[in-house]
């Protein structure tokens, strides 16, 4: 499994999202990460299906839609219709997570479950075999540019082990929050294979170059981890 870079447009200029996506893609972005926030589950508001639909028109890589909303079931179809290729939902808001994951998959979209920093890995146990990926939050969701929570590194290892135990070796671990040139090698060594990065890419003067550099760092870390094995 290679490492994929998923630039988060949360830190981009919302008046120039098309250019942000194009720059990230020139730098080798594998996915575009779209943060959807409702002002309830997280203390911030961002974008809805209309913006995803517009992004879909310009993006050449798949759209990875991260739903930080209290009622994802209501909106899954709208995001699929708008062009999401991957949708992640938070376990903290879903009493019927199994149903939601399968509803996402039935729409032909890759289904991911997301865990907040304080949510135990054990909450994955009964769903690990069903998911297409797991998103480990390495900051408390809501804002870009926060500091990486160090404990997330071991959490990635635990999630990787839980997926493997469930016979789901094909499902990658995605990590989101505070990923930069310093933290990327550590999370790759821990087993993360999709790296979301907002500030480290769109907070720079040259997002294309920042994407390319982060991808190179991640690839180096993966090679080193394979050698160490
Ligand atoms: C945080 C979002 C992240 C955010 C990451 O709630 O889920 O995707 O954009 O931003 P950085 O990389 O700046 O921590
Ligand atoms: Zn996100």
At residue 226, the pLDDT reads 87
- pLDDT digits 0-9 by tens, 107-128: 999 999 999 999 999 999 999 9
Rounded to 10 deg, the angle between the 207-228 and 17-26 helix axes is 40
19 band by pLDDT with thresholds 50, 70 and 90:
very high
- What is the distance in A from the centroid of ligand 1 to the CA of 36? 11
* Best of 39, 65, 196 for a ligand 1 pocket test (most atoms within 8 Å of beta carbon): 196
**From CA 114, how far away is CA 131, in angstroms rounded?**
11
This model's pTM is above 0.75: yes
What pLDDT, in 10s, does the model give residues 59-89?
999 999 999 999 999 999 999 999 999 999 9
Among all chains, which residue has been given the structure tokens 């999709």? Answer: 194
d(CA 73, CA 104): 9
Sheet of strand 133-137: strand arrangement: 4-7, 192-197, 173-176, 133-137, 110-115, 86-90, 63-68, 32-37
Question: Of 138, 63, 125, 65, nearest to 91 (Cα)?
Answer: 125
Q: In testing the pocket of ligand 1, which one of 92, 177, 180, 204 has its CB within 8 Å of the most ligand atoms?
A: 177
Q: Give the helix ranges, DSSP H, for the chain.
A: 17-26, 49-58, 76-82, 97-106, 152-165, 184-190, 199-202, 207-228
Three-state DSSP at 193 gives: strand
Compute the distance between CA of residue 209 and CA of residue 189 in angstroms, rounded to an integer: 23
CB of 141 closer than 6 A to ligand 1? yes
For residue 9, what pLDDT is reported?
98
Closest CA to 65 of 111, 26, 97: 111
Cα separation, 159 vs 202, in Å, equals 28
């Amino acid at each position: 499994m290679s490492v994929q870079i998923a630039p988060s447009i949360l830190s981009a200029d919302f008046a120039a999202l098309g250019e942000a996506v194009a720059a990230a893609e020139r730098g080798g972005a594998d996915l575009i990460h779209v943060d959807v926030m409702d002002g309830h589950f997280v203390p911030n508001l961002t974008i809805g299906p209309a913006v995803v639909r517009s992004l879909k028109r310009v993006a050449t890589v798949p759209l990875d839609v991260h739903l930080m909303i209290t009622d994802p079931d209501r909106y899954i179809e709208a995001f699929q219709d708008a062009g999401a290729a991957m949708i992640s939902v938070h376990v903290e808001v879903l009493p019927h997570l199994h149903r939601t994951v399968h509803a996402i998959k039935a729409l032909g979209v890759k289904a991911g479950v997301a865990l907040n920093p304080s949510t135990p890995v054990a909450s994955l146990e009964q769903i690990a075999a069903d998911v297409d990926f797991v998103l480990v939050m390495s900051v408390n969701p809501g804002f870009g540019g926060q500091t990486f929570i160090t404990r997330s590194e071991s959490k990635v290892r635990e999630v990787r082990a839980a997926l493997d135990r469930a016979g789901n070796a094909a499902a990658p671990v995605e990590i989101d929050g505070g990923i930069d040139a310093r933290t990327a090698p550590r999370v790759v060594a821990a087993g993360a294979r999709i790296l979301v990065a907002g500030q480290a890419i769109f907070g720079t003067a040259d997002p294309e170059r920042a994407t390319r550099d982060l991808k190179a760092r991640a690839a180096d870390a993966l090679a080193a981890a394979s050698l160490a094995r």
